[in-house]
Amino acid sequence: MTVTADLNVSARDKAPGDVPRHVAVIMDGNGRWAVQRGLPRTEGHRAGVAALRRIVRHSAARGVEFLTLFSFSSENWSRPAAEVGFLMSLLHRFVRRDLAEVHRQGVRVTMIGEREGLEPSILGLILEAEELTRNNTGMTLVVAFNYGSRNEILRATRKLAVRVAAGELSPGEIDEATISANLDTADLPDPDLIIRTSGEQRLSNFLLWQAAYAEFYFPDLHWPDFDEHALDEAFAAYAERDRRFGGLSAKVAR
């Protein structure tokens, strides 16, 4: 069966198979969005939270099973203290104001990223969100916070090295599944679609291992302008991709 290109057809009208199971988003361009409007960068982050709310709701409505949002990278600590502080206060506010609503939507929240060394108040918010929503059966919202893929791979490598040193595991027993199972994403399928807003076309240390066969989509919009329609366009583009995983096309010849 071939899938015809029709950007006017909403994802709701398509077969469920057209909606990616796991969507991962690099929410980029908040600062530039604000500067273009003569506003401080922090206003861009505030508008970014509004976009995040919309995208969580719309992804769940479209039947996405896993939505991973890159909210703060392990490298973002290098930004000015005032901007970092503002981003932390946004996280606080998001948990205080939005967690109840997310919970009502049946969304299960989980975090990937390095937890060690996080301020107890920040870690507390993350644990609270995970705990409250643990048994929800709707979409899984994966928040990548203090996340860097190389750091994640490094931590997994150390965990395996400890087991090898203890004689619990032999080097020959380590395979791809062992590595996947020791990453923060152990319980998650690989992302099917990775969206990066703002026009930048790089991963910036996001899901390097997991993205092996992901489809990429780079809309020319800053994150605060990314809305439901833009997400549907991303899904429509995804539905046109021919994922071969190194094999031959599953689609019957046109």
Residue 70 binding target from ligand IPE, Mg ion, none, CB below 5 to 8 Å by type = ligand IPE
Q: Establish whether 29 is an annotated binding residue.
A: yes
Residue 103 binding target from ligand IPE, Mg ion, none, CB below 5 to 8 Å by type = none
Shortest CB 49 distance to ligand IPE, Å: 10
Among candidate residues 6, 8, 13, 28, the one labeled active-site is 28
87 binds Mg ion (CB under 5 A): no
Q: How many CA atoms lie within 13 A of 51 on its CB side?
A: 26
CA distance 68 to 78: 23
Helix (H) or strand (E) holding 220: none
130-151: burial string, b at 16+ Cβ within 10 Å, e else: eebbeebeebbbbbbbbbbbeb
Q: What's the residue count for the chain?
A: 254
CA distance 85 to 168: 43
192 binds Mg ion (CB under 5 A): no
Is residue 28 annotated as a catalytic residue, yes or no? yes
Shortest CB 28 distance to Mg ion, Å: 4
Task: Please choose, from the candidates 217, 242, 244, the residue with its C-alpha nearest in 3D space to the C-alpha of residue 231.
Answer: 217
DSSP-derived 3-state class of residue 156 = helix
C-alpha distances out from residue 116 to 16, 24, 157, Å: 39, 24, 16
26 binds Mg ion (CB under 5 A): no
Let me know: does 209 contact 183? Beta carbons within 8 Å.
yes
Q: Give residues 170-209 in contact with ligand IPE (rule: CB under 6 A).
A: 198, 200, 202, 204
66 versus 226: smaller Cβ distance to ligand IPE? 226
Is residue 220 annotated as a catalytic residue, yes or no? no
200 versus 220: smaller Cβ distance to ligand IPE? 200
28 binds Mg ion (CB under 5 A): yes
87 binds ligand IPE (CB under 6 A): yes
Q: Which two tokens stand for residue 33?
A: 């969005």
Which of these segments, 21-29, 59-67, 168-176, 239-247, binds ligand IPE (CB under 6 A)? 21-29
Among candidate residues 6, 13, 18, 76, the one labeled active-site is 76
Binding site for ligand IPE (CB under 6 A): 26-32, 70-73, 76, 87, 198, 200, 202, 204
Binding site for Mg ion (CB under 5 A): 28
Sequence ranges of the binding site for Mg(2+): 28, 215
